[in-house]
Structures are given as structure tokens and as C-alpha cells.
Amino acid sequence: MIRATVYSAAGGVETYDDLLGAREADGTTWVRVTDADRDELDRAAEAFDIHPLVVEDVVNDVRPKTEPFGGYTFCLVKDAELRRGEQTFDEEVDANPVGVCIGRDWVVTLATERVVAVDRIWDAVERGDERLLQRGPDFTAYRVLDVVVDEYFDVLDGVETNIERIEDAVLESTGIETLEAINTVRRDLLAFRKLAWPTREALSVLARGDVDQVAAETEKYYRDVYEDLVQVVDLVETYRDLARGARDIYLNTVSQSTNEVMKVLTVIATLFLPLTFVAGVYGMNFERMPELGWQNGYYAVMLGMALLAVVMLAYFRRQRYL
């Protein structure tokens, strides 16, 4: 799916079917390639002399980066979404690569899937957003990247909600489902960390004025996106600490539960230890044992064993072993 539009403050917005004609038109040219196959990506790249390695990076889903080429700058970021399953804690961070090529008077966005951020800014251009129409392609690229990064906060909000649920579940249950939920959140945070860190480095290149295609007055907008990414990285590290804390609480709860069981079993074994000794003594096959000839010997031994058990049980309760 390839669409091309040319816009400016004076000429408004005009749609083109011919990519070469759109490139030569006056104003800012934006070519949006979304939900596309390899042939469509190659066709757009050929029309704007974009290096084939750019298409390779978008298709092969490499790590985010910013790379300057002759006449344009290529920035690869990833659109992220927290995709939920049927279960409460069944979720996964779904990331789709988005390539943004910024030229002198054109911008090309490349994606193999539908990208919400690109669609939102495209709709704003079609509605005649004055800020977009009055500024160049570097500002359009900034708006796309800004929306992509804003969606990261939505993902982290979902992760935070799950961590809060897990913390409540840890205190109520030590089932295997709780441990699986903790591992799921930790896995999501690890995947998101691998996405956020290189994205921050990629945006820093655009924010510090190293790119010719980004005007000086637009750099402050990229710096704002970079600062948002710094906050995203900090939140990821904070939530990873919370997930580790939830795992530690879970393990401590399981250990405490096991200790309680072992304590009860130990008390029971200790109660039967002297009783077993008495039963063993009177179970010896000696002919001359005075108590064996006593008429009430059996009842006396049983009563003595019961009293011994009661005394020991009272002692254990007094010492708070039970």
C-alpha cells in the first residue's frame, strides 16, 4: 500500500499516484508505504534513490538506529503494542519496525505492517494541520517519531498494571500461575528494554544536530522526544526492579509456607519420639519385666504416654512452636 501526498502552507494538500511526479512537485512530499510487501518497498525506495540496505533493515527487523546517507537520513524505530491473550497475565510486547527517511524536501515512511503513529500524522496532514503544512519534512518525521514514543508509555502503563496485580496475587496465592505471570512480565520488560535503549541512541543523533536534514529550529522537538525516551528507559528499569521484588516476595512466601509445614511435621515427629521409646521398651521379649505381670500395666502405660504427649504439646505451644 503506497500513497503519496505533497503539501505546503501555500498550496494545501495534493495527492499523487506517480511517485516521481510527487518527488518533483513543489512543497513537502510524503510517501507512506505501509502494510507493504517487498516489491512495494523496493518501488518506493527506487523512486527516491533510497539505498537497498534501508529496505533490508525494515524487512529484517534490525535494532533501532539512525544512519546518514547521501542526500537523506534514515531512522529506524519500532512501533510497540502490548498484545494481550485470553488469560489475565497472558501478554506480549509486539514491535513492528518503522523506517523514516528524511530528505531535503521529502519524507518516506516504510513499514511492513499498519502503524498507528503514521496513520495519525497522515490524517493530520490530510485535514490540513497548519503546523505540518508550514514546516518541512523534518518536522513531519518528528511528529511520527513522537507518536511512536508516546505509545511506549501506554505499553508501560499496561505492564505497571500487571505488576500491581501480580503483587496482590503473590500475597494471596503461591500457585504456579503466579510464578508464570511474574516470568511473563519480566520477559516483556526485557524485550522492551532491548527496544527502548537503542531507540534512545537513535533519537540522540537527530537531537544533537548531527544530521543535515534536520533544521536547527526543529532540533528542540527531537530533544523533547529524546527526553521522553530517557524517561521510558528509567521506567523500564524501575518496573524491572518491581518485578524482581515481586519474584522475591513469591519465593519468600513459598519458603515460609514450606517452613510452616516442616515445623508441624517436626513437632509431630518429636511427640511420637518418646512414645516410640516407651513402646519399644515394653516390646522387648524379656521374661522378667515387673510391669508385664501387673494387671493394670497396659492402662498405666497408655495413660502415661498420653500424659507425656499432652505435656510436650503444652510446652511446644508455650514456646510458640505451634
Q: Quickly tell me which residue has 497522515 as its cell.
A: 122
Beta bridge partners of 5: 15, 30
Q: pTM here? A: 0.79
Amino acid at 196: A
Q: How far apart are CA 189 and CA 85, in angstroms?
A: 17
Q: Mean pLDDT in runs of 10 for the chain (322 residues)? A: 85 82 86 88 90 92 89 92 68 87 92 90 88 89 94 90 84 78 88 91 89 89 94 92 86 79 82 84 74 76 86 82 70
Alpha-carbon distance values, 103 to 22, 77, 134, 144, 205 (Å): 13, 17, 16, 15, 16
315 CB-contact burial (10 Å; exposed 0-12 / middle 13-18 / buried 19+) = exposed
* Number of Cβ atoms within 10 Å of the Cβ of 318: 9
In three-state secondary structure terms, 109 is: strand
What type of residue is 122? W
Residue 99 to residue 202: CA distance in whole angstroms: 12
Q: Would you state the torsion angle of the CA atoms of residues 299, 301, 302, 308, taken in this order, to the nearest 10 degrees?
A: 140
Per DSSP, the three-state class of 248 is helix
pLDDT value of residue 106? 92
Left (φ > 0), alpha (ψ -120 to 50) or beta: where does 28 sit? beta
Distance of alpha carbon 17 from its chain centroid, rounded? 40
Amino acid identity of 203?
Answer: L
d(CA 197, CA 36): 27
CA 184/CA 191 separation, integer angstroms:
11
Structural domains of the chain, ranges and CATH numbers in brackets:
2-247 (3.30.460.20), 255-318 (1.20.58.340)
Q: What is the pLDDT of residue 35?
A: 87
